[in-house]
Structure 1
Amino acid sequence: MPLDVIMPALGMAQETGQIVAWHKQPGDAVAKGDVLFEVETDKATMEVEAQGAGFLTDVTAHKGTDVPVGDVIARISDSAENPSPASDGAADDLPEGKDVIMPTLGMAQDTGLLVTWHKAAGDAVAADDVLFEVETDKSVVEVNAGAVGYVAALLAEAGEEVPVGQTIAIISAEVPANPITRKASAAPAAAPTKTESEPPAATKPAPAKTAPHPATGGRILASPKARRLAREHGLDLGRLVAAGLPQPFHVKDLEKLKALPVDVASADRTAQAASRLTAEIPTEGFTAFAAWAAESAKLTDTSALLAGLCAASMGTDAIAAIESFGNTKTYAASAQLSATKASEDAPQIRLRDLRFTAITTVQIGAEDVPTLTLTRKGNGLTITLEFASGQLGATDAIALLSNFAGRMEQPLRHLL
């Protein structure tokens, strides 16, 4: 199925982006992670990478074109030929409005599992209303509508795996006459290519049915409240999976979990519970600082600047991994606010930049290294630090978050 390439949001109040240059031409082969194009906003120019492999087709925006955020500007298809118009038949029946896409929440994420809708087709929504919950390998996140209007179409059902970037809802300005609700799997898809290794249709075995819930150690579906309470009380939701209880889990299931016999393995897992600290700054100064650094010092790599701020906040040189738009860059960062790429080294700290997404709240849990996450809050930022026991002491964690928040609010003041 073709993967839509959309104009991303690179700023808090950005409505359009200008195509500066295409790095791939129509018909070119594309690998996941290849730079597709460069886009410019008021303050920055950024390279945008491909979210999948295939061939670049259906390019509709050319160099110098201003494109509204969220508009489809190209596709990554299974072949170098543009898909025939017939392949998009069902799309013609969709109402007009703002597309809501499956967001990217992790560095290696290809899909997201739609846990539940908070709005029904035809409902009125505000920009800050929670529209749906999505789960990746490590978290369940509430995603806001991002627009004012009415839910004109819901294009996926709870429990479906949806590719990142695929439209799953449409919000229209007017009350929809005939709201649409359908599965993501009902969207038109290219017919699979037949290979010699495939058995004939008459003898080909039927595909196995999907299990009603994941096996122990896999993805666990649970409401955010149930997940939070389980973490606070040191409860392992994986034991409910092992006991065969149906998912998603809710608060009432925690009583069943408490009644299960405790084993040594589960006790070891709860010992690794994550600690979480948050800081809020009313205004962020990093965007202006990045523009100044690009113009005055020719430092155009925003991720490298963030890596330098991480090391400076730790007070020591460090390997920092910066995640943005689902891609990760690793840097050898200096406490003197410099950074060079170091892709071969394991990171000592991770920064997940979600400023330009609709995500406003994050509670992922402990990862392999302490992780800072940036999300928008008005004209400022919410900065979340999550870490496991043994990674940081309480004093070091407080100092790290306080130092980093100060640098994001006033980077020039903390430059020396």
Structure 2
Amino acid sequence: MPHEVIMPALGMAQDSGQLLAWHKKPGEAVAAGDVLFEVETDKAAMEVEAQKAGYLTDVSAEAGSDVPVGQVIAMISETPEGSGEPGNGPTPEKTTDTAEPSPSGAEAGEDELPDGHQVIMPTLGMAQDTGLLVAWCKQPGDAVAADDILFEVETDKSTVEVNAGRDGFVAALLAEAGEDVPVGQAIAVISAQKPDKPVSRKAAGAPATTAGETAPELQEKAEPVNTPAPSPEKRLAAKTAPGVAGRVLASPKARRLAQEQGLDLQRLADAGHPQPFHVKDLETLKTLRAETPAASATAQRFEVRAEVKGTAFTEFATWARESGGQGDEAALLAGFAAASCGNLPSKVRVETMRQPKTYSASSLWLGQVAPADDEPEADLVVRDLRASRISSVQLEADRCPVISILRNGEGFTLVLEWPGGRLTTPQAIDLLSNFAGRMEQPLRHLL
């Protein structure tokens, strides 16, 4: 089946992208991962890779043209001849005089969308085909500002809050929380004027309903007119989507706080609480924890190790002290650790043989790593044991991940320990690999 190649959204407020150049010619074979074309926005130029092997066909946009985000610009087909779909003109079926005209939107049972700016499912990664709509932060008919958070979307790597991008009113929501929506598909409409009948419907052409109305299939199961209206809590639960494919739906802030506090959001889902979860739901989760006896007196603990060869970090620290004006070696470790976990700004506590010290890292620049004004709970702990004779560690699980640095000849042994629920195995491997790389090649951090 042919695969559509669309103009990706490289920014939250991007309406179009300029197609700089094609790297493949029509009819040419492509492999998954091959650079297909280059696109430029107002902020960056990026190479876009093919997501499927086949032949490039049905090219409908030329180099140098501005293309709306989400528009199909080519196909990857199984044969060089093409798919006969977008790009190379109409198909025979569409030009046959005896063909029956397709029904209009009203005849097909779909409500006409209000006029306004269409908000699409953004591309948060080059290999992303869909995004999971975690939650809407605005409802149909609500007024929005450009910087207001409109919805939350989850990919295989992260959960992101997406701004509305412009001022106006929510005229239509074209997908429901819990749905996987293809990248580039319209999921909302923001109009300049307050809509008379805002639209709310499922994604992928599901029957539309105006806000406040019930879909036909639900009307058949509606309760009698004399039945009391459901409580606000039940109405909220009815609008809330369940987890999809085993995933727990939660806002980014709720996820972060749950990780910091060692809370497992899955327990809320198992207890039947409606998703997506927000910060207020963490109090309920704490109550569940208090009511459930501990499965073990010792918290579950995980560990992964890495070896760092050479004395490059020691030499880098000497250079930073003598030439770079950074004499605090603990601050260098905090900066390396914060950059390795990829979660900025971060609080990193560095524990040495003398005393612990907490640092705030707001960017990748080591000059912006400074002692924290207070002593907040750290996101990550670096335990510097190079000055000791300790050669191995296996301690009780801390509330956050801990990287211990042990002397090993001219190099170091790095041990990452973390409690259950704080990191996934891929996240732990990525964190320790990045930190080990910076310790072995410190100049890499400055590039």
Larger radius of gyration: 2
Show the 5 A alignment for 1:10-409: 17-26=17-26, 31-40=31-40, 45-51=45-51, 56=56, 59-67=59-67, 70=69, 72=71, 74-76=73-75, 80-82=83-85, 93-105=112-124, 109-137=128-156, 139-176=158-195, 178-186=197-205, 213=243, 218-241=246-269, 247-249=275-277, 250-254=281-285, 255-264=287-296, 267-268=299-300, 370-372=340-342, 383-385=344-346, 401=363, 403-404=365-366
Q: Deviations over 1:133-158 (max 9, x none)?
A: 12334543321111223333322111
Show the 5 A alignment for 1:404-415: 404=366
> Match for 2:140: what amino acid?
A
Separation (CA, whole Å) in 2 of partners of 1:95 and 1:53: 38
Q: CA deviation at 1:160?
A: 0.8
SS of alignment partner, residue 176 of structure 2? coil
Q: CA deviation at 1:129?
A: 0.9
Q: CA deviation at 1:88?
A: 11
Separation (CA, whole Å) in 2 of partners of 1:123 and 1:106: 30
Q: CA deviation at 1:394?
A: 7.9
Contact 1:102 1:112 in 2 (8 A): yes
SS of alignment partner, residue 251 of structure 1? helix
Distance of aligned partners of 1:5 and 1:251 in 2 relative to their CA distance in 1, 3 Å threshold: same
Structure 1 unmatched runs, 5+: 189-210, 273-310, 317-350, 352-365, 374-382, 408-413
Separation (CA, whole Å) in 2 of partners of 1:146 and 1:50: 28
Contact 1:99 1:168 in 2 (8 A): yes
Q: Bigger CA drift: 42-51 or 59-68?
A: 42-51
Distance of aligned partners of 1:384 and 1:65 in 2 relative to their CA distance in 1, 3 Å threshold: same
Distance of aligned partners of 1:164 and 1:266 in 2 relative to their CA distance in 1, 3 Å threshold: farther
> Match for 1:253: what amino acid?
T
Aligned position for 1:359: none
Distance of aligned partners of 1:22 and 1:49 in 2 relative to their CA distance in 1, 3 Å threshold: same
TM-score, normalization: structure 2? 0.49
Separation (CA, whole Å) in 1 of partners of 2:149 and 2:135: 11
Contact 1:112 1:162 in 2 (8 A): yes
Contact 1:157 1:183 in 2 (8 A): yes
Separation (CA, whole Å) in 2 of partners of 1:56 and 1:96: 34
Contact 1:113 1:161 in 2 (8 A): yes
Distance of aligned partners of 1:77 and 1:87 in 2 relative to their CA distance in 1, 3 Å threshold: farther
Q: Bigger CA drift: 232-241 or 88-97?
A: 88-97
Contact 1:370 1:385 in 2 (8 A): no
Structure 2 unmatched runs, 5+: 95-100, 208-240, 304-311, 318-335, 370-444
TM-score, normalization: structure 1? 0.52
SS of alignment partner, residue 39 of structure 1? strand
Q: CA deviation at 1:130?
A: 0.9
> Which structure would you say has the larger RCO, counting Cα contacts within 8 Å and 6 or more residues apart?
1
Separation (CA, whole Å) in 1 of partners of 2:356 and 2:182: 38
Separation (CA, whole Å) in 2 of partners of 1:388 and 1:139: 24
1:6 aligns with 2:37: no
Q: CA deviation at 1:183?
A: 1.2
Separation (CA, whole Å) in 1 of partners of 2:446 and 2:135: 44
**Count of paired positions:** 287
Contact 1:58 1:73 in 2 (8 A): no
> Match for 1:128: what amino acid?
D
Separation (CA, whole Å) in 2 of partners of 1:107 and 1:66: 20
Separation (CA, whole Å) in 2 of partners of 1:7 and 1:256: 43
Aligned position for 1:283: none
